[in-house]
Chain A
């Protein structure tokens, strides 16, 4: 199959020397799933289409990039999965979408366009934003949809979004929050639906270029990865610098010393590295810096953190199964072991998935921990 050879060439899969470190470190394989990254790499190299597309395990990958991190031959397995999923999507094989495919439907409807989404209502009256032009563009992401879709988790990912805008306001910035924004398309791309992803990418890039922004800030790790890496072929004109809110807050040119905090009580916080922010983009320090700058905060790391951090196991709305649940439970136990009161994270999806795991009626009490977005914690500590 020429597509497989092409995918192997682009992702360096040819370099694989069959050591099996990828499968040995894969969270899904370790927890007992019938899943092997090595098998996919080998099948790609050998051109065995049926081992990849008909075998049905392709959508189990968390795309957490842990195997890429460990691979001694620099095979881009995560990138390979993205391309293989595109291939299988073209052949009509789609992941079993959890939640009845509702979120995928939503994204495809946004790609189609035609309606005016209600994307501004969460702002409230005290936050200052501009709907069209400005130096800083705040890319909201889909937190309003998550909060509406998962009322049973008592989720409030919008608080993180609001906090980010409040922090920007405090720094004297009136960010652009656009009513024409659409989903970044991250999950469609990782489900293999490139056609609809491209519609979204073109729309969003044009919207941001038109705003004349110099900096694009977002508080979603997935949006940031999509903007920085996957949107690249669609860049037009002068693209802004793209930053995560925690990068913006800790950058000496933007946030940095300009934020003043009130004295806070002594408390312990632990940080969940989102896979998109950490391993995909290499952003490990800014969220930690933002947290340790807060008075009274002691940051304790979990057993696996930084580049070895365990992912929330649900990144692309395609792989929620019993293995994902076990991974989440393990991770929450790790968080509890640190003795921290709060589990901070920098991606709304991590919150969705961990809060779902906490709903386990048999374990609830054992693995429950308060979850907050980093921006929320920083905004609450403001003077």
Chain B
């Protein structure tokens, strides 16, 4: 008798439809010391709201971000990687960001060969004053990666899965 009562109250208290838990991506943001990192700081001090699902890695110049960095991030479980630096002409080291473009293009081509979606990797120029733009880029990119879902390299059983698929 008491059991039945308990059950009923449980049913009543349960919300009609539980919203599915929202999956949040893990994003790695590489930011240069002089522009993008300061841009993120501007977003912070100006209290501009943005999604918080990223980890930021500060480098002295975007030209330093070689394919190995990005690939290592994907290997270690990043669902998306954002590379950011100063606008053209604004680079603290004159043309480091031109070097960044070369490196980025190479990385993008490798990522495509590897079979990861292009949308998981992005290059953006964000200056120190562009706090609002930083927030906007982060929001856009986070939504984009969320739509793509978890990185195919992240599944625990992916190796077995693809092996059986291929056989």
Contacts and interface: CB of A to CB of B under 8 A. Distances in A.
B155 A114 contact: yes
Contacts of A210: 166-167
Interface string A86-113: 0000000000010111100110111111
Given A114-B153, A117-B115, A145-B110, A100 B158 contact: no
25 contacts: A97-B68, A99-B66, A100-B69, A101-B68, A101-B72, A102-B67, A105-B72, A106-B71, A106-B114, A108-B75, A112-B159, A113-B158, A114-B154, A114-B158, A115-B114, A115-B116, A116-B115, A118-B112, A118-B113, A145-B113, A148-B110, A149-B67, A203-B159, A210-B166, A210-B167
A180 B71 contact: no
Contacts of B167: 206, 210
A144 B115 CA distance: 13
A144 B113 contact: yes
A199 B162 CA distance: 12
A117 B72 contact: no
Given A100-B69, A102-B71, A149 B159 contact: no
Given A100-B69, A102-B67, A149-B67, A112 B112 contact: no
Instruction: Name the prevailing secondary structure of the A interface residues.
Output: helix
A145 B110 CA distance: 7
B53 to A, nearest CB: 21
Instruction: Name the prevailing secondary structure of the B interface residues.
Output: helix
Interface in A125-167: 144-145, 148-149, 151
Contact of B161 (A97, A109, A114, A145): A114
A207 interface: yes
Nearest to B72: A105
B166 A109 contact: no
Interface residues of A, number: 31
Contact of B159 (A106, A114, A118, A151): A114
Contacts of B87: none
B153 A109 contact: yes
Contacts of A148: 106, 109-110, 113
A270 B75 CA distance: 41
A203 B113 contact: no
Contacts of A149: 67, 106, 110
Nearest to B74: A109
Nearest to A181: B166
Contact of B75 (A99, A105, A113, A144): A105
B46 interface: no
Interface of A: 97, 99-102, 105-106, 108-119, 144-145, 148-149, 151, 180, 199, 202-203, 206-207, 210
A121 to B, nearest CB: 8
A109 B162 contact: no
A282 B154 CA distance: 41
Interface in B118-167: 152-155, 158-159, 161-163, 166-167
A141 B149 CA distance: 30
Given A106-B114, A109-B114, A210-B167, A99 B68 contact: yes
Contact of A102 (B68, B112, B153, B161): B68
Interface string B64-95: 00111101101100000000000000000000
Contacts of A202: 163
Contacts of B69: 100
B113 A113 contact: no
Q: Choose among A105, A119, A149 the residue with the greatest number of B CB atoms under 10 Å from its CB.
A: A105
B25 to A, nearest CB: 16
Nearest to B76: A105
A144 B67 CA distance: 16
